[in-house]
Amino acid sequence: MKSWLVVVITWVILQSSAWAVTFTLDLTSVTETEYSTFLTNIRNNVRDATLVYGGTNIPVVGNNPATTFLRVDLIVSTGTVSLGIRRSDLYVVAYLANNDRNVRRVYYFSGLITSAQLDTLFPEARGAANQQIIKEYEENYASLEKAAKVNRKQAGLGIDKLVKYIAGVNGVARAVPSEAKFILVAVQMVSEATRFGYIQNQVLENFPTAFTPDDKVIILERNWDRISEAIKGSNKGVFPAPVVLKCDGITTTWTVNNATELNMGILKYLGRALLRLVKIDVGNVSVLLVLSLILLIYVGFTLFKSHMVKKATKNH
């Protein structure tokens, strides 16, 4: 009985605290430095410091993290609207705001987060009665743009835009186009700006005013997976062949030869990187090769020792 009690208590503790972390961005007085620090803190929290892709120093999202979701509190003059973000890929899965009766409510995408997880992430709105599934559209850009009745360029980006669209979901009756516009911009200002230093810099260059994102912003947002894969397979960030990036609806293409041109913030987790043997110059034996040989010798010795022990046991 005691052992079961310990298990239950441990499960409750883990469910209530260990898998969520909160970040705050005060939009009423935010500076360029504070916005950059906010994004850096998110990157540092989700990264695996032991992961290196392509011999670069670009952060990589960790696998099987201790925390499952991030909570991002966006403070405006009329209150706080919070985002629920899946830590493994930075997808926005839910948001918390006041409804038109000034009651805290959660709106979320079904299949990306459960009601029990929402209870922990947003304790202000516990229970199914305070949680509403977003059924009118999905979390992808095509669906969001259709529901918002504007595309990403028309919606714009920038601190001022984010504040404007927060007003469309906080303290008012739910309206699908306003909600979709808010999510459309919030995703880019938080998740995409965390993924891409290029998008972060676009915001900073126009800070805090609204601006129209260029084609490169849209192309990057479509290609996080592909870019992460290309950098993982690169040699110190240099691609074996030029990488041509494109996006449906954008006539522009972007050809890049190395990771530096992309100004990445963080890469998607695509598994552990395989050991890569570098070319050996005459008279200069690679340290990596030596370590690999030592590892092979150790494994061989271990297998041989195990075999001899089994043989000796069998003889007895």
* Strand partners of residue 72: 23, 83
For residue 181, the one-letter residue type is K
Residue 205 annotated to the active site: no
Strands 92-98 and 104-108: antiparallel
Q: 225: closest CA among 215, 214, 233, 235?
A: 233
* Torsion over CA: 231, 62, 266, 199 (sign): positive
How many degrees, rounded to 5, is the angle at CA 185 between CA 67 and CA 217?
Answer: 95
User: In sequence order, which residues have a C-beta less than 8 Å from that of residue 157 and are 6 or more positions away?
Assistant: 185, 188, 189, 199, 202, 203, 206, 210, 211, 212, 213, 217
What are the E-state strand segments in the chain? Answer: 20-26, 69-76, 79-86, 92-98, 104-108, 131-133, 238-247, 250-258
Rounded distance, CA 90 to CA 178, Å? Answer: 22
Q: Helix, strand or coil for residue 208?
A: coil
Tokens encoding 25: 């961005």
191 residue type, one letter: S
**For residue 21, what are the contacts with CB-CB under 8 A and spacing of at least 6?**
45, 67, 70, 71
Distances (CA, A) of 18 to 68, 138, 162: 9, 28, 30
Instruction: Choose, from 139, 145, 179, 192, the residue flagged as catalytic.
Output: 192
Task: Please list the active-site residues.
Answer: 192
